[in-house]
Amino acid sequence: MDTQRKYLITVIGPTAIGKTAMAIEIAKHFNCEILSADSRQFFKEMAIGTAVPSNHEMAAAKHHFIQNISIFDEYTVGDFERDAIAKLNELFTTNNFAVLVGGSGLYIDAVLKGFDDFPDVDPAIRQQLIADFEEKGIAYLQSELERLDPMHFHNVAKDNPQRLMRALEVCIGSGRPYSSFLNIKKNSRTFIPIVIGLEADRETMYSRINQRVDIMVGMGLIDEARELYPHKKLNALQTVGYRELFSYFDGDFTLDFAIEEIKKNTRRFAKRQMTWFKRTEGARWFDFKTPPATIINYIEDSL
């Protein structure tokens, strides 16, 4: 191994597959620290519904970007790219290894490849889009994006209002399609990525998700969501596990139906995660039950 080279060992895969446990085993082996790229785990007010690592797990390996900001803070993927690269540069001064782990594909890509250079947009545009979404629904956002940027409309997660509004605000604010800003500028990276993917057959994956939701409910997810309910319009809370319980508090869902919706929507989210991650260049995929020692051997052989 070239001792001058820096390696970012990256663990990807769908929700509830065991990424945190695997990342900790890898970090312990290489005596290095972990950066979380799970955009839901950044928020200090959201712990149970985002499955943040336990105190025991946090003690086993030092983690960064876990509950580091508030739901009231504006924090973009561009902010994360800047902060994560700064942290990696700091860590690499004393260690040749670091671990990146998470289920947010956009945030993983921002660190591994660099983020596209988007123009600044007047915040009033986003406020208008939020008002339009609340009044006219997601179908309005979809039709507007299809009109303004058919290429990006084809690729975007069409049931994700945040992604739709982000693309629309760039289209409207710049007068150019969102897709025209993609893949123009990529920032160079000083590290070599080694990407580990964890997967399972669909039935197993869905069973693990259902079980995790039941565990979250048992841990107090409903009380956590109730505390956040007054702030339900915030961007950070437009997320699976909270949205469904807000509908229960609104009287639109029964509790049992809300919990089933969380499971269903989490399963859909996992499917989208796999579609995204399967495009990751150079990723080596392992069954989620693969012993950490086998994966560590693969990493050692890749150095």
Q: What is the DSSP string of 233-247?
A: TSGGG-STTTHHHHH
Residue 18 is labelled as binding a ligand: yes
> H-type helices in the chain, by residue range?
19-30, 55-60, 77-91, 105-113, 123-136, 138-148, 150-155, 161-174, 202-219, 221-228, 243-249, 255-277, 292-302
How much is the pLDDT for 121? 81
- Residue 17 labelled as part of a binding site: yes
pLDDT at 41: 95
pLDDT at position 290: 98
Its CATH class, for the domain covering 7-115+187-302, is alpha beta
Q: Is 102 annotated as a binding residue?
A: no
User: What is residue 30's predicted lDDT score, i.e. its pLDDT?
Assistant: 97
pLDDT given for residue 116 in this prediction: 65
According to the annotation, is 275 in a ligand binding site? no
**Is position 15 annotated in a ligand binding site?**
yes
Delimit the CATH 1.10.20.140 region(s) of the chain.
123-181
CATH number (1.20.1260.60, 1.10.20.140, 3.90.180.10, 1.10.238.10) of 123-181 reads: 1.10.20.140
Q: Is 61 annotated as a binding residue?
A: no
pLDDT at residue 180 in the model: 84
What are the residue ranges in the chain where pLDDT is below 50? 1
Q: In the chain, where does the domain assigned CATH 3.40.50.300 lie? A: 7-115+187-302
230 annotated as ligand-binding: no
